[in-house]
């Protein structure tokens, strides 16, 4: 029997385990059950793939994401692993052949959709075949908190009854304690060893900036940081995704829209181009993302604010699954706050439900306005702890300036009060700044004591004050009168002078900041060689009908650039190059490197 370490090296081409992979793998190889909670990109797959290769028999992987099975299996085959899948997309003859391979012990790994696994026919088949383990991927699907595959997943408790001696490993990236408890009880995993890695995604850089000209800001972000990268841009409305996508195309980017209103064939085509081509940008509503396993998404940009931190974390989590540097970039502004608050106010549902929604929105707004480390706040929200500042979010990299906004806030609240809580921000700012226009004179607001008291702040500064007051729920938005602001109970302390308030000092644009490299590539990399290696990878991927990252990850190409291997044995030492890929692709890439060196 091969040791786990040997398999890691010879099959996958990796030098060391990422703890706690080693302990998980040891547990399962020895026949124990395990519950694994690791963030996206943490390396969950190896935790069952290696035990499946080390133990006798076939490892059965239960996954709800049928669309991904083909790619997962192709990737394993390129590593020389005998992998296959059984799901509803196969014709009967092919399915029978796969079942035969399974019975003859000719498979290392078999992916099955849960609804197929729980059919009596499949269970009987598995009963006659040599099985090394069951891996239950996306195990949070058993949770009662709204998952599409729940019914099928609930049946999986029968695995324990039907196959009591075969180890089971359940895996998820959903961290909260409630879901964890549910997985354990529903899947009968009371005896399982638990491996709970933190929730943190240290390679993702979180940034939230003020929105002033969304398209130009996005363009600049792409130009400066992701000129040739694949990424996702999220918008709230379908129309906006199409608008932004076509605008990006005009700017020379390979951008495609994606939303639930597009015909299924168009969606499938755009998704497949995103996976299979390089440098594609998907401009999407939240309909895009579930089950997207692309490891080299280098950025997730939000042009509109998500309604909850859960959604924000899930969407940004699609960046950088390969562990390389990635950006989570968002712009937001006063209008987002007002729009979302209004949507909440007017939403259907019980009072209790509304209150819960409000709280979640408040938490999201709080994250936007925070002046301390964003990652700390995020992890805190999920009951995970980070004691130090992360050093990889905007507030850590460029500490935010705060100012004593007590006086300004009091003026703003008083303007709301004196004008009868019937006006939106634009007019309130006019009152404070003493503007002379029709609306002011018609409403007699030039007679108010607050008229013109706020000339010391400019228009943007006042909008910033109002934004922060709404975000922190000192003010609410009236749904009857579009955008009118109202005082909330919370204001009392401020108005009476019993409370002070610190506000964020907004910075409009950050020019000449040193922290940002031009792209995510390390600076010592020769771009010409990098591009040549990418071309080589793309050609091989097209030949084999797989996405480029299945050939080699970016990380592996980067190491080729820095190590410049000149023989097969040197090439074999690059991270991500196992024996099979060395055989198959070594000489092609060596040739590219050699040409590059002789041309230089
Ligand atoms: P998850 O399923 O947890 O989101 P994956 O299993 O897809 O994560 O792994 C994420 C990436 O990390 C993959 O590209 C994988 O090949 C890589 N990886 C996993 N374990 C290791 C390791 N020990 N050394 C190097 N790379 C690893
Ligand atoms: Zn930080």
Q: Which ligand is nearest to the CA of 322?
A: 1
Tell me the pLDDT tens digit for each residue of 169-194: 999 987 677 788 889 999 999 999 99
The CATH 1.10.10.10 portion of the chain extends over: 402-504
Q: Residue 499 to residues 1, 102, 406, 490: CA-CA distances in angstroms?
A: 69, 71, 8, 10
C-beta of residue 470 within 8 angstroms of C-beta of residue 337 = yes
Tell me the pLDDT tens digit for each residue of 207-255: 999 998 999 999 999 999 999 899 999 998 999 999 999 999 999 999 9
- For the Cβ of 405 lying below 6 angstroms from any atom of ligand 1, the answer is no
Which of 302, 299, 307, 369 is closest to 334 using CA atoms? 369
- For the Cβ of 38 lying below 6 angstroms from any atom of ligand 1, the answer is yes
- For the Cβ of 578 lying below 6 angstroms from any atom of ligand 1, the answer is no
The CATH 1.10.150.80 portion of the chain extends over: 527-599
Tell me the pLDDT tens digit for each residue of 5-61: 999 999 999 999 988 999 999 999 999 999 999 888 889 999 999 999 999 999 999
Atom nearest to 47 CA in ligand 1: 6
- For the Cβ of 17 lying below 6 angstroms from any atom of ligand 1, the answer is yes
Task: Compute the mean pLDDT over every residue in the chain, rounded to the nearest whole number.
Answer: 90
- For the Cβ of 576 lying below 6 angstroms from any atom of ligand 1, the answer is no
Q: How far apart are CA 10 and CA 26, in angstroms?
A: 18
Q: Which CATH class is domain 4-196?
A: alpha beta
* Cβ < 5 A residues, ion ligand 2: 373, 375, 390, 393, 396
Which of 6, 16, 75, 66 is closest to 544 using CA atoms? 75
Q: Is 146 left (phi over 0), alpha (psi -120 to 50) or beta?
A: left
Laid out side by side, the sheet with 34-37 consists of: 83-86, 109-112, 58-62, 131-136, 168-172, 34-37, 193-196
Tell me the pLDDT tens digit for each residue of 450-498: 999 999 999 999 999 999 998 888 998 876 777 789 999 999 999 998 9
Q: What is the pTM of this model?
A: 0.82
What contacts 296, CB < 8 A, 6 or more positions away? 230, 321, 322, 324, 549, 553, 554
Q: What is the pLDDT of residue 513?
A: 46
From 3.90.950.20, 3.40.50.1860, 3.40.50.720, 1.10.150.80, which CATH number describes the 527-599 domain? 1.10.150.80
Residue 249, classified by CB atoms within 10 Å of its CB into exposed (0-12), middle (13-18) or buried (19+), is middle
- β pairing state of 484-487 and 475-478: antiparallel
Which of 268, 310, 308, 265 is closest to 288 using CA atoms? 268
Tell me the pLDDT tens digit for each residue of 111-159: 999 999 999 999 999 999 999 999 999 898 887 654 566 788 888 999 9
C-beta of residue 193 within 8 angstroms of C-beta of residue 27 = yes
C-beta of residue 75 within 8 angstroms of C-beta of residue 12 = no
- For the Cβ of 320 lying below 6 angstroms from any atom of ligand 1, the answer is no
The CATH 3.40.50.300 portion of the chain extends over: 4-196, 204-397
Which of 189, 125, 191, 187 is closest to 150 using CA atoms? 187
Q: Nearest residue CA, atom 21 of ligand 1?
A: 43
Element (DSSP H or E) covering residue 581? helix 579-599
Q: Which ligand is nearest to the CA of 398?
A: 2
Band of residue 105 on the pLDDT scale cut at 50, 70, 90: very high
Which of 594, 578, 593, 596 is closest to 79 using CA atoms? 578
Q: How far apart are CA 311 and CA 331, in angstroms?
A: 16
C-beta of residue 594 within 8 angstroms of C-beta of residue 536 = no
Q: How far apart are CA 422 and CA 235, in angstroms?
A: 30
Name the CATH topology of 204-397: Rossmann fold (3.40.50)
Q: What is the largest distance, in Å, between two alpha-carbon atoms of the chain? A: 91
Q: Which residue has the tokens 């060893």?
A: 193
Give residue 548's Cα distance to chain centre: 20
Name the CATH topology of 402-504: Arc Repressor Mutant, subunit A (1.10.10)
Structure tokens at 198: 């933190």
Q: What is the pLDDT of residue 380?
A: 87
pLDDT at 512 over 50: no
SS3 sequence of 441-503:
HHCCHHHCCCCCCCCCCCHHHHHHHHHHHHHCCCEEEECCCCCEEEECHHHHHHHCCCCCCEE
Tell me the pLDDT tens digit for each residue of 51-101: 999 999 999 999 988 877 888 899 999 999 999 999 888 999 999 999 999
Of the chain, the percentage scoring pLDDT greater than 70 comes to 95
């Amino acid at each position: 029997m091969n040791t786990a370490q040997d398999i890691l090296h010879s099959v996958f081409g990796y030098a060391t385990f990422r703890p706690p992979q080693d302990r998980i793998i040891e547990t399962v190889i020895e026949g124990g059950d395990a519950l694994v909670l690791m963030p996206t990109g943490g390396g969950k797959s190896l935790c069952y793939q290696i035990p499946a290769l080390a133990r006798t028999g076939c490892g059965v992987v239960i996954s709800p994401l049928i669309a991904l099975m083909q790619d997962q299996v192709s990737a394993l085959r390129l590593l020389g692993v005998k992998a296959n899948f059984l799901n509803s997309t196969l014709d009967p003859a092919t399915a029978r052949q796969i079942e035969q391979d399974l019975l003859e012990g000719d498979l290392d790994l078999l992916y099955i959709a849960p609804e197929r696994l729980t059919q009596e026919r499949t269970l009987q088949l598995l009963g006659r075949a040599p099985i090394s383990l069951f891996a239950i991927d996306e195990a949070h699907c058993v949770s009662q908190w709204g998952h599409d595959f729940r019914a099928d997943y609930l049946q999986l408790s029968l695995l324990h009854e039907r196959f009591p001696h075969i180890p089971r490993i359940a895996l998820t990236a959903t961290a909260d304690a409630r879901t964890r408890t549910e997985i354990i009880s529903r899947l009968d995993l009371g005896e399982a060893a638990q491996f709970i890695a933190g929730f943190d995604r240290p390679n993702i850089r979180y940034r939230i900036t003020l929105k002033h000209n969304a398209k130009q800001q996005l363009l600049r972000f792409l130009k400066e940081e992701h000129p040739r990268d694949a990424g996702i841009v999220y918008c709230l409305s379908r129309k906006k995704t199409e608008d932004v996508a076509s605008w990006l195309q005009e700017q020379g980017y390979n951008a495609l829209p994606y939303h639930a209103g597009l015909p299924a064939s168009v969606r499938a085509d755009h998704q497949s181009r995103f996976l299979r081509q390089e440098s594609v940008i998907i401009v999407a509503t939240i309909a895009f993302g579930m089950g997207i396993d692309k490891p080299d998404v280098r950025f997730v940009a939000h042009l509109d604010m998500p309604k909850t931190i859960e959604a924000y974390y899930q969407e940004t989590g699609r960046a950088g699954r390969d562990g390389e540097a990635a950006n989570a970039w968002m712009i937001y502004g006063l209008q987002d706050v007002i729009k979302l608050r209004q949507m909440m106010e007017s939403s259907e549902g019980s009072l209790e439900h509304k209150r819960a929604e409000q709280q979640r929105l408040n938490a999201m707004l709080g994250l936007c306005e925070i002046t301390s480390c964003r990652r700390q706040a995020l992890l805190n929200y999920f009951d995970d702890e980070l004691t130090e500042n992360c050093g990889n979010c905007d507030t850590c990299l460029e500490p935010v300036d705060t100012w004593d906004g007590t006086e300004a806030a009091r003026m703003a609240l008083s303007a709301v009060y004196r004008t009868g809580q019937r006006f939106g921000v634009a007019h309130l700012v006019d009152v404070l700044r003493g503007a002379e226009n029709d609306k002011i004179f018609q409403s007699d607001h030039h007679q108010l004591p607050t008229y013109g008291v706020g000339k010391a702040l400019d228009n943007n500064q006042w909008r910033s004050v109002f934004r922060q007051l709404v975000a922190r729920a000192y003010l609410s938005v009236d749904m009857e009168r579009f955008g009118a602001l109202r005082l909330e109970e919370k204001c009392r302390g401020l108005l009476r002078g019993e409370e002070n308030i610190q506000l964020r000092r907004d910075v409009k644009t950050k020019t000449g900041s040193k922290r940002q490299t031009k792209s995510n590539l390390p600076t010592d990399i020769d771009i010409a060689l990098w591009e040549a290696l990418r071309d080589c990878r793309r050609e091989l991927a097209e030949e084999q009908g797989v996405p480029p990252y299945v050939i080699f990850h970016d990380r592996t190409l980067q190491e080729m650039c820095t190590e410049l291997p000149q023989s097969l044995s040197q090439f074999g030492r690059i991270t991500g190059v196992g024996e099979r890929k060395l055989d198959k692709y070594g000489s092609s890439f060596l040739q590219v490197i050699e040409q590059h060196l002789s041309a230089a």
